[in-house]
């Protein structure tokens, strides 16, 4: 990734044929350097140039895919230390660990959680992402039986956890062509584990001892064996040491281009404490600081939901607030007598408000104004959700043709502007709604046109 546009340009054919969709080779080179185009876009690249460039232009942290098909997850591929510098791209994933020493009821409970731990928030589907399957007994038959059970019960990709290559091989066979994450290669077994990863086209986790130089050496050997998709476990099992290793690994990959550390990281808050609440807090630490695969002891909803929302926050693009299209959103077949509400086009605001209007079961018209993706109060303070903007919006959006009445419900936090808005919004009465969206249902139930 250290390559500049000029470095890349030197390797291009320099014919300016335009087949890449950009008029010149130089312009194409600049696009690649900026991460806006891929080498493959130039059909005339020589093979030598292609391999030289792809080697040197590989992202500093490799993106690794675990699993196959629709439920495969991609982790890693990050470019920055701090999310404000660009964004964090590939959200971390969570996995509850099921082991072959658990009784059937416990296993079934964890499988049920793995499948049902799903929430839709701001139109995103929030879920764990993976499921851990661990050999505790050392009994290959038991491990295989558990893998078969998990594979039949869920489509979430697996993390197969076992230190014995022979047992792992049986496990991989049972897993079929599902590209599970193999956990883990160590200094003692890496040759056999690397061979398994290659044979089964599965990514390989490499478990260190806490010493990062030793981890670099081990990864070097595994890369030399031909394994490309690697996930790193620094090997520490307390959050203070783990944080230090995670920061060092991310920095070494991004700032020092240490290839051997340019991979996503797996962490084990479930092994750092016996207290499930603390486990969730440590998991939160790793959501922010560089964990990509986060292993948990279960996915109880009351703990999973806050963690998923934290991940959603941290992996939101900081440059660009998520927004919805401005316009009139009819909710529940509203009529000419249904209430009219106005809100901002910040996705979070829109989905919270529309969700509550829907929950009220009172059909309504929700007018979503273009506030450039800012929340109600932020856009008000920024002068984007004020009477002089609201008047032309309401007059132009077509709501006057939809309803017979002229009553507009505004957010409770904007009560201070209700008088001014009513003066300027000819023909309309302005009603101040509740402050929090959660109070919209009782409000709408008693609303009368």
Measured from the CB atom, the residue of 49 and 281 that comes closer to other proteins is: 281
Q: How far apart are the first and last CA of the chain?
A: 61
Which range in 180-188, 284-292, 392-400, 406-414 contacts ligand B12 by CB under 6 A?
Answer: 406-414
What's the min distance (Å) between Cβ of 397 and other proteins? 27
Q: Which is nearer to ligand B12, 11 or 354 (CB)?
A: 354
Should residue 54 be labelled a site residue for ligand SF4 when binding is judged by CB under 6 A? no
Of the candidates 144, 184, 374, 421, which one interacts with ligand B12 according to CB under 6 A? 374
- List the one residue out of 182, 188, 185, 171 whose CA is nearest residue 222: 185
* Cα torsion angle, 266, 267, 271, 276, sign: negative
Site membership for other proteins, residue 238 (CB under 8 A)? yes
By the rule CB under 8 A, 239 interacts with other proteins? yes
In whole angstroms, how close is the CB of 221 to other proteins at the nearest point?
17
For ligand B12, the binding residue among 332, 381, 419, 449 (CB under 6 A) is 381
**286/4 Cα distance (integer angstroms):** 32
Could you say whether residue 204 binds other proteins (CB under 8 A)?
no
Could you say whether residue 179 binds ligand SF4 (CB under 6 A)? no
Least Cβ distance, residue 355 to ligand B12 (angstroms):
10
Report the C-alpha gap between 202 and 395 in whole angstroms: 59
Pairing between β-strand 340-344 and β-strand 118-121 as defined by DSSP bridges: unpaired
Nearest-angstrom CA–CA distance, 414 and 446: 21
User: DSSP label at 162?
Assistant: -
CB within 8 A of 374, min separation 6: which ones? 321, 344, 346, 382, 384, 385
Asked if residues 269 and 295 have their Cβ atoms less than 8 Å apart, the reply is yes
CB of 280 to ligand B12, least distance (A): 23
3-state SS assignment for residue 429: strand
**Nearest residue to the partner ligand B12, using Cβ:** 433
* Residue 355 binds ligand SF4 (CB under 6 A): no
Least CB distance to ligand B12 at residue 148 (A): 45
Q: Reduced to 3 states, what is the DSSP secondary structure of residue 255?
A: helix
Smaller CB separation from other proteins, 17 or 247: 247
Minimum CB separation of residue 347 from ligand B12 in Å reads 8
Q: Does 375 bind ligand B12 (CB under 6 A)?
A: yes
C-alpha–C-alpha distance, residues 342 and 369, integer Å: 7
Which of 149, 440, 444, 447 forms a contact with ligand B12 (CB under 6 A)? 440
Helix (H, G, I), strand (E, B) or coil at 398: coil
Phi, psi torsion values for 133, nearest 5 degrees: -130, 115
Tell which positions 242-261 bind other proteins, by CB under 8 A: 243-244, 247-248, 251-252, 255-256, 258
Asked if 439 is part of the footprint of ligand SF4 (rule: CB under 6 A), the reply reads: no
Tokens 């964890």 sit on residue: 110
421 near ligand B12, rule: CB under 6 A: no
By a kind-dependent CB cut-off of 5 to 8 A, residue 411 interacts, out of ligand B12, ligand SF4, other proteins, none, with: ligand B12
Half-sphere exposure of 437 (CA within 13 A, CB side): 19
User: Site size for ligand SF4, by CB under 6 A?
Assistant: 14
How buried is residue 34: exposed, middle or buried, by Cβ count under 10 Å (0-12/13-18/19+)?
exposed
Determine which residue in the list 87, 189, 312, 378 makes contact with ligand B12, applying CB under 6 A: 378
By CB under 6 A, residue 28 contacts ligand SF4: yes
The nearer residue to other proteins, 282 or 350, going by C-beta atoms, is 282
Residue 184: asked if its preceding bond is cis (omega within 30°), the reply is yes
Task: Assess 15 for contact with ligand SF4 (CB under 6 A).
Answer: yes
DSSP 48-59: HHHHHHHHHTS-
Burial of 29 from C-beta contacts in 10 A (0-12 / 13-18 / 19+): buried
Half-sphere exposure of 95 (CA within 13 A, CB side): 30
Residue 381 touching other proteins (CB under 8 A): yes
Segment (H or E) for 98: strand 93-99
Is position 402 an interface residue for other proteins (rule: CB under 8 A)? no
CA gap 34, 103 in Å, rounded: 52
CB of 146 within 8 A of CB of 98? Answer: yes
Instruction: Report in angstroms how near the CB of residue 437 gets to other proteins at its nearest.
Output: 7
Q: State which of residues 4, 10, 40, 42 lies at the interface with ligand SF4 (CB under 6 A).
A: 42
**Site for ligand B12 (CB under 6 A): which residue of 349, 399, 417, 425?**
349
Q: How far is the CB of 409 from ligand B12 (least distance, A)?
A: 5
Interaction site with ligand B12 (CB under 6 A): 321, 341, 343-344, 346, 348-349, 352-353, 373-378, 380-382, 409-413, 433-434, 436-437, 440
């Amino acid at each position: 990734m250290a390559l500049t546009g000029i470095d890349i340009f030197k390797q291009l054919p320099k014919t300016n044929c335009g087949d890449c969709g950009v008029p010149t080779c130089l312009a194409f080179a600049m696009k690649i350097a900026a991460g806006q185009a891929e080498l493959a876009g130039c059909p005339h690249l020589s093979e030598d140039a292609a391999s030289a460039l792809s080697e040197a232009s590989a992202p500093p942290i490799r993106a690794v895919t675990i699993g196959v098909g629709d439920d495969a997850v991609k982790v890693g591929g990050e470019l920055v230390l701090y999310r404000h510098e660009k964004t964090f791209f590939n959200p971390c994933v969570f996995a509850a660990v099921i082991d072959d020493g658990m009784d059937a009821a416990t296993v079934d409970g964890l499988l049920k959680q793995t499948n049902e731990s799903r929430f839709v928030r701001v139109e995103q589907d929030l879920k764990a992402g993976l499921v851990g399957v661990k050999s505790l007994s050392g009994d290959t038959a038991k491990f295989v039986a558990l893998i078969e059970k998990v594979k039949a019960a869920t489509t979430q990709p697996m993390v197969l956890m076992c230190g014995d290559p022979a047992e792992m091989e049986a496990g991989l066979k049972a897993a079929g062509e599902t590209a599970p994450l193999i956990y883990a290669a160590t200094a003692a077994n890496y040759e056999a584990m690397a061979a398994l990863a290659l044979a089964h086209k599965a990514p390989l986790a490499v478990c260190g001892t806490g010493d990062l130089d030793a981890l670099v050496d081990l990864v070097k050997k595994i890369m030399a064996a031909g394994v490309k998709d690697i996930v790193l476990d620094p090997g520490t099992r307390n959050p203070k040491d783990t944080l230090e290793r995670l920061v060092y690994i991310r920095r070494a990959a991004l700032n020092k281009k240490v290839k051997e550390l340019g991979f996503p990281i797996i962490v084990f808050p479930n092994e750092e404490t016996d207290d499930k609440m603390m486990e969730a807090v440590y998991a939160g630490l790793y959501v922010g600081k560089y964990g990509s695969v986060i292993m948990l002891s279960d996915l109880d909803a009351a703990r999973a939901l806050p963690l998923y929302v934290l991940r959603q926050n941290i992996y939101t693009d900081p440059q660009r607030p998520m927004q919805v299209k401005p316009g009139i959103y009819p909710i529940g077949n509203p009529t000419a007598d249904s209430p009219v509400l106005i809100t901002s086009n910040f996705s979070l605001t829109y989905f919270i408000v529309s969700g509550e209007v829907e929950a009220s079961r009172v059909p309504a018209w929700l007018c979503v104004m273009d506030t450039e993706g800012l929340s109600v109060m932020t856009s008000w303070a920024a002068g984007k959700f004020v009477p002089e903007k609201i008047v032309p919006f309401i007059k132009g959006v077509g709501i006057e043709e939809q309803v017979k009445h002229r009553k507009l419900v505004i957010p409770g936090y904007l009560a201070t502007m209700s008088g001014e808005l009513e003066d300027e919004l000819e023909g309309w009465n302005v009603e101040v709604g509740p402050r929090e969206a959660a109070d919209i249902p009782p409000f709408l139930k008693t609303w009368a046109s």
